[in-house]
Amino acid sequence: MTKNTKVNAAILIIGNEILSGRTQDTNTSTLAIWLNSIGVKVNEVRIISDTEKTIVDTLNLLRKTNDYVFTTGGIGPTHDDITAQSVSKAFGLKYEIHKEAFKILEAYYDPGEFNEGRQKMVMMPENANLILNPTSGAPGFSVENVFCLPGVPSILKSMLGGIKNKILGGDPILSHTISLRTVESEIANSLTKVQDQNKDVEIGSYPFFHAGKLGVSIVLRSENKSKIDSCNSQILEFIKQKKIEIVDR
Amino acid sequence: MTKNTKVNAAILIIGNEILSGRTQDTNTSTLAIWLNSIGVKVNEVRIISDTEKTIVDTLNLLRKTNDYVFTTGGIGPTHDDITAQSVSKAFGLKYEIHKEAFKILEAYYDPGEFNEGRQKMVMMPENANLILNPTSGAPGFSVENVFCLPGVPSILKSMLGGIKNKILGGDPILSHTISLRTVESEIANSLTKVQDQNKDVEIGSYPFFHAGKLGVSIVLRSENKSKIDSCNSQILEFIKQKKIEIVDR
């Protein structure tokens, strides 16, 4: 049985530190690669500030226009961590102590260490589903199609395994790369023709500099391996005609 | 004479390679730091696909809700580079050969090298203002409050100097960081009080791991130095009371 539906997602990066340039977001790339591998395509990414109204409005738009939404950031113990209360508001749910999360953190910390600041991290939308955190205890959570993850990249990565079975993806999005010792303008016309004949394959062209030399990587993406293969053959054909060298990259 | 207006911008990252996770965006951080230094605050960032309708619709929204919009990506010679034609459509302008850009690239390339693929890079919205490219010749362009820059980070960086005098910023956004050997939960309540008493200063709290040790960086941001200083004093006070060590970071 093949799954035939296209499944898409939006990523919502919440945090002033990304908008100010202080912190370089890397979670988009981590999430996108992981989502592609389970058959979910990322439609769009938005980076927004730690502002309740902005989070509520953006989330209410994205959760209706995408199969899934993944948020990162804003679930820690400080005043600028307002994702859980904003998600509660977006769904019209109570923002309250999550009993299971409370038990997890109570057991995680040494006696007396589960202080008021840390207790903020168990405040969640009512009946939220927990996303377990094998790295630092404090869970993320999901409500309907919205999954809320932390901003710290290593912690986020460690939590993805726990939600894999909650995401119903389509066919995995396959990718094939051909790297060439050429410049984009040399292959632009031929590549346009191949794209026109292969509408179902997303063809990208990306210049690179590597070991002091210029090159171009052509990236083919589709859920359908035979369509990628056919597209690949057409590209190899014009490369041969143009006597362009294929390189490892 | 002090400038008193708040000036804001949106960044629009155009490119399937970012949405697929293949390429890690770094232009957001570069642009945000540079914009802050000239008094422009980044309100939001969107990452979208190489799809004309999406680019047109998103651009038409962002250019009306922000003082400036900076796009990155999609101005090269291949079929997936559709930023210039999309911007033309968004503004209802002709998409045509830009004579000055043509002259620049004709002079840049060796005789016979300014081929059809490269000539695509001089197709722009009519009467666009050029953004000169000291790295690789092909210019970016601006139309009204929209500035279109390339996706390759090193080339983008080299072009910012050329647009600095075209951006009318407000007061530069100042930032002060205090790094502490503590965990967020220890300072969360005190920090909330300081934030409540200093509404005009944006206070962020960011945990870090450095040289095997945990810490927290508190970041204060405002256009007003005296407000940052006053906020800083209040933080130093509770840090002293709590006997928390200040560290270099």
At B210 the pLDDT is 82
Round to whole Å and give the CA distance between A214 and A207.
Answer: 7
Answer yes or no: do A78 and B19 touch at CB < 8 A.
no
- Please check whether residues A216 and A129 belong to one and the same domain: no
- Please check whether residues B90 and B66 belong to one and the same domain: yes
CATH value at residue B207: 3.30.70.600
The answer to the question of residue B35 being in a domain is yes
**Facing residue for A192 by CB, picked from B46, B79, B221:** B79
- Please check whether residues B123 and B231 belong to one and the same domain: no
Q: Which of B44, B35, B43, B109 is nearest to B77 (CA)?
A: B109
Structural domain that includes position A155: 7-166
The tens place of each residue's pLDDT in chain B, 249 residues long, gives 345 578 999 999 999 999 999 999 999 999 999 999 999 999 999 999 999 999 999 999 999 999 999 999 999 999 999 999 999 999 999 999 999 999 999 999 999 899 888 999 999 999 999 999 999 999 999 999 999 999 999 999 999 999 999 999 999 999 999 999 999 999 999 999 999 999 999 999 999 988 888 999 999 999 999 999 999 999 999 999 999 999 987
Which of A145, A166, A187 marks a domain boundary?
A166
At A1 the pLDDT is 38
For residue B25, the chain A residues in CB contact (below 8 A) are: 25, 28-29
Best residue in B80, B205, B231 for a mutation probing chain A (most A CBs within 10 Å) = B80
Distances in Å between the Cα of B126 and the Cα atoms of B89, B91, B98, B112, B162 are 11, 10, 7, 26, 20
The answer to the question of residue A2 being in a domain is no
- Please check whether residues A49 and A93 belong to one and the same domain: yes
Answer whether A46's CB lies under 8 Å from B45's CB: yes
Q: Is the pLDDT of residue A89 over 80?
A: yes
Secondary structure in 3-state letters for B13-74: EECHHHHCCCCCCCHHHHHHHHHHHCCEEEEEEEEECCCHHHHHHHHHHHHHHCCEEEEECC
- Please check whether residues B210 and B157 belong to one and the same domain: no
CATH value at residue B24: 3.40.980.10
Specify the DSSP class assigned to residue A183. -
pTM of the full structure: 0.95
- Please check whether residues B54 and B102 belong to one and the same domain: yes
Q: What is the pLDDT of residues A157-210, one digit of tens each?
A: 999 999 999 999 999 999 999 999 999 999 999 999 999 999 999 999 999 988
- Please check whether residues B64 and B135 belong to one and the same domain: yes
Number of helices (H), then strands (E), belonging to chain A: the values are 9, 12
Answer whether A175's CB lies under 8 Å from A220's CB: yes
Q: What is the pLDDT of residues A14-30, one digit of tens each?
A: 999 999 999 999 999 99
- Please check whether residues B133 and B242 belong to one and the same domain: no
Q: Tell me the shortest Cα–Cα distance from B94 to chain A, in angstroms.
A: 22
> What's the rounded mean pLDDT across residues A220-248?
96
The answer to the question of residue A1 being in a domain is no
Answer whether B182's CB lies under 8 Å from B246's CB: no
Answer yes or no: do B117 and A186 touch at CB < 8 A.
yes
Which of B135, B166, B197 marks a domain boundary?
B166
- Please check whether residues B89 and B161 belong to one and the same domain: yes
**Facing residue for B221 by CB, picked from A20, A46, A116:** A20
Answer yes or no: do A79 and B47 touch at CB < 8 A.
no
Answer yes or no: do A17 and B219 touch at CB < 8 A.
yes
Q: What is the pLDDT of residues A56-77, one digit of tens each?
A: 999 999 999 999 999 999 999 9
Domain count, chain B: 2
At B1 the pLDDT is 38
Q: Which of A43, A132, A46, A50 is nearest to A84 (CA)?
A: A50
At A147 the pLDDT is 98
At B211 the pLDDT is 81
At B4 the pLDDT is 52
- Please check whether residues B133 and B23 belong to one and the same domain: yes
Q: Is the pLDDT of residue A4 over 70?
A: no
The answer to the question of residue B69 being in a domain is yes
Best residue in A47, A177, A195, A202 for a mutation probing chain B (most B CBs within 10 Å) = A47
**Facing residue for A117 by CB, picked from B26, B49, B189:** B189
Which of B111, B135, B166 marks a domain boundary?
B166
What secondary structure does DSSP assign to B136-188, as a single string?
TEEEEEEETTEEEE-SSHHHHHHHGGGTGGG----SPPEEEEEEEES-HHHHH
The answer to the question of residue B238 being in a domain is yes
